[in-house]
Each structure stands twice: as structure tokens, then as C-alpha cells.
Structure 1
Amino acid sequence: MLELRDLRKSYGGRDVLRGLSHTFRAGEFVAIMGESGVGKSTLLNLIAGLDRPDSGEIVLDGQSITALDDRAATRLRRARMGFVFQAFHVLPHLTLEQNVALPLLLNRMPTQRAAEMLDAVGLGGRGGDFPSQLSGGELQRVAIARALVHRPALVLADEPTGNLDPETAESILTLLRNELKASHACAVMVTHSHAAAEKADQTIVLTRTGLANACVA
């Protein structure tokens, strides 16, 4: 489904990722942990096509992401990927339903699923509200609804529970896991939280020499 083939990335002459290879399967929820500075967020940016490796290849469903130009990479992200960020990135001037509907509009798809996804994340009937009316946990639910609304093949999550209390974080991750399983999407989540990683099917530790200590939850 998603293949990393001998990736290398350096900044300022320092290797951040070196010889990194791994295969992620469809329907799999994988947590990536590791010390600060080992390249976890860099890896997500490479997978998303927001940055390019110095060498190696990233392949999504048989298509090489690293071979795409910027315009083609943007189209691929729009159609095949969903993103959940620690800072939410919910647009304040749009209603909740409009925020969730954005991927559908960008992909020229019917927008009724936006209301369905808000209901799925426990915000049914609040589509006309604005982000300023929500708590942090509720905003993260909106972000998850938006990431999954267009049924992406791949979901990338960067510290999605970093700003949440433990109870809210657990409910958010349970929701994310359930939605992923229902749509048979693959998810790669970067986290420092062992509690968050326990919700994944597999936890992988990223070290300065590559991926190590893979374990199944």
C-alpha cells in the first residue's frame, strides 16, 4: 500500500533519515515514536510529498510520489490523503460543516458526507457553529472528520493528541481508529505519547539509524 524504499534526507550536511525502508499495509494504523530530532515530522512531510528525499523512493498504491512534480503531488494529496495535525488547522471563518466539506469540494465530490462525518465524531447538529465556539477536543474531532470525509487511502497524523487531556485524547484516538478500520485506510501517526501509541496496531521506533523495535499492539 505505502512503501518507503531506502530513503535518505539531510539538512545542512547532517543526515536526518538514512537508508529508511518500510512497508505499510492497507487498513493498518501505525504509530511512529522516537527522540526529538530523529526525523519523525520530516518523514511525514516526505510521505505527503511536501518535501523530497535526497535519494530513495516513496510509493503509494503502486504510484511513485517522489517521481511527481509539484502540481501532480498536490493532486495526489488532495485525492488520496488526509491530514490530522496537533494545531488542528481548522479555518476560523468557516462553519464546522464548511471546514469538513473542504476536501469534498476540492475533489468535486458531493458534500452531504460532511454532515454525516460531523455526526460520526459526535458533533451532529452543530454544522452551523464556528470554530470559536468549540473546545480543543471538539476542534480535533472536526480535524479528524475533515481528514476522513473524502475516504482517503492514507491518513497522516502529527502529534494529534498533544494538546488534549488524557480522557479526550483516548476518545479521539478510538474514534480515529474506528473510522480508519471502517474505510480500510492506512494511517501513520507520529507521537511522543505511549498511551496514544497503544491505540495503534503497530508501534515503530525511529532512531538515527532507521526504523527499529517494531511491535504489534
Structure 2
Amino acid sequence: MLELRHLSKSYNGRPVLDRLSWQFKAGEFVSIMGDSGVGKSTLLNLVAGLDTPDAGPGEAPIIVDGIAMSGLDDDGATRLRRARMGFIFQAFHVLPHLTLLQNIGLPLLLNGLPSARATEMLDAVGLGGRENDFPHQLSGGQLQRVAIARALVHRPALVLADEPTGNLDPDTAEAILTLLQREIKATGACAIMVTHSLAAAKKTDKILNLSKNGLQETTIVNPFAQ
């Protein structure tokens, strides 16, 4: 579903990601952990086409669903992102002038899909009955749930989540991760979640650690286990 081929990114001459390679499979829920500043959010932005990798002529460092992101112009990248990806941002990016239902239903409208699933997803994240409320009426945790519902509503093939449970209480975080798991398995999507939460990472199929040495699969060991 997603292949990274020697992906590199530098800012002002400082390397953030250096020749990163990995293959992510459809139907796989993967978490990425690592120290702050190691490039986890940068990686998601590159995959989504929101930032541009360092690449030489003819190189294709990011392949999404068989399509080389480097071969797309801005319009092509936008169409691919709109139809095939769902992105959960740390900063929500919920549109303040739209109701909750309109925010969640926006990907359906842009992709010419039936609107009924927006109500279904609003219910799924525990905000049923608040269709006509506006974002300013919600707490930070509730806004994050709207962002998650919007990312999943059009059944994307690739879900990119940047700290999706960071603003949620433990019970709501557990429910949201269960929802992510269910949607991924139901649609065969690939999901990549950047997180600092060990509890969240343990809900995924695979945990990767990002460091200056690249991506490495890891097994988290409980130091208090007998």
C-alpha cells in the first residue's frame, strides 16, 4: 500500500530523515514512536504530499497505492490525497464556519459520495445529536473526535494519524483506537499512527521506532512484568 524508498528530508542543510526505507501493507495498523524532533510528523507530511522530500532526478521515494508521489503535480497530489487518504492532524484543522456534520461530511462531498455516512461517523465518535453544533462549542477532545470521524468517513485506503489520542481522556482514547482498528479491518486500509503513548501503540499491529538509524520494528517490554 505504501512504500518508502530511501526517503530523505533536510531543512536548512540539517538532515531530518536520511534514506528511510519501509513497506506498509494494506490492512495493517502501525504505530511509529521515537524521540521528539526525530522526524515523525515530517514523515507523515511527506507521505501525504504536504511537504516535498529531497530527491534526485528520476527518484521515487514515496509510492502510494502503486503511484509515485514525485510524479504528480499539485492537482494530482490533491486528488490522490482527497480520494485515497485520511489525515488526523494534531491541530484538528476543523473548519469553524461549518457545523460538525458538515465538517465530517466534507470528504464525502468532495469525492461525490453519499452523505449518510457522516451521521454514522458522528455517532461512532460519541457526538450523535450534535449535528448542527459548531466547533467553538466543543472541547479540544471533542474537536479531535470530529477530526477522526472526518478522516475515516470516506473509507480511505491510507490513514495518517499524528498523535490522534493526545487530547483525549483514557476512556475516549481507548474507544477511538478501537474505532480505528475496526475501520481499518473493515476496509482493508493501511493506517500509520505517530504517537508518544505506549498504551496507544500497544493497540496497533506493529510498533516501529524512528531514530537517526531509520525505522526499526520493536517489541515493548514491560519492565515491571514478573
User: 1:66: which partner in 2?
Assistant: 70
- For 1:145, the aligned partner's letter is A
- What are the residue-to-residue correspondences of 1:15-164 with 2, within 5 Å? 15-55=15-55, 56-164=60-168
- Cα separation, 1, equivalents of 2:198 and 2:220: 13
1:43-71, CA deviations, whole angstroms, 9 ceiling, x for partnerless residues? 00110011121125111111111221111
Where does residue 5 of structure 2 map in the other structure? 5
Equivalent residue of 1:35, what SS? coil
Q: How many angstroms apart in 2 are the aligned matches of 1:2 and 1:96?
A: 31
Are the counterparts in 2 of residues 100 and 149 from structure 1 also a CA contact under 8 Å? yes
1:168 alignment partner, one of 162, 169, 172: 172
Any conservation in 2 of the 1:9–1:54 contact (CA below 8 Å)? yes
Q: Distance in 2 between matches of 1:169 and 1:200?
A: 13
Q: Which amino acid aligns with 1:208?
A: K
State the alpha-carbon separation in 2 of the partners of residues 163 and 183 from structure 1. 26
Counterpart secondary structure, 1:66: helix
Is the Cα contact below 8 Å between 1:201 and 1:216 reproduced in 2? no
Separation (CA, whole Å) in 1 of partners of 2:218 and 2:47 = 19
Matched-pair contact (CA < 8 Å) for 1:79–1:107: yes
- TM-superposed CA distance for 1:216, in Å, is 9.0
Distance 2:90 2:49 in 1: 19
**Tell me, what secondary structure is at the counterpart of 1:108?**
coil
**Structure 1 length normalisation: TM-score?**
0.93
Q: CA deviation at 1:215?
A: 4.1
CA distance in 2, matches of 1:7, 1:202: 21
Question: What CA distance in whole angstroms lies between the structure 1 residues aligned with 2:166 and 2:114?
Answer: 32
Which segment drifts farther, 40-49 or 205-214? 205-214
What is the aligned-residue identity percentage? 71
Partners of 1:146 and 1:213 in 2: how far apart? Answer: 29
Aligned-partner SS, 2:79: helix
Q: Which amino acid aligns with 1:155?
A: V
Q: CA deviation at 1:131?
A: 2.1
| Unaligned ranges ≥5, structure 1 | none
Secondary structure, aligned partner of 1:189: strand
Consecutive aligned runs of 4 or more in structure 1 exceeding 6 Å deviation: none
Paired residue type of 1:87: A
Runs of 5+ unmatched residues, structure 2: 222-226
Match of 1:197 among 177, 184, 201: 201
How far apart, CA to CA, are the structure 2 residues paired with 1:182 and 1:121?
Answer: 17
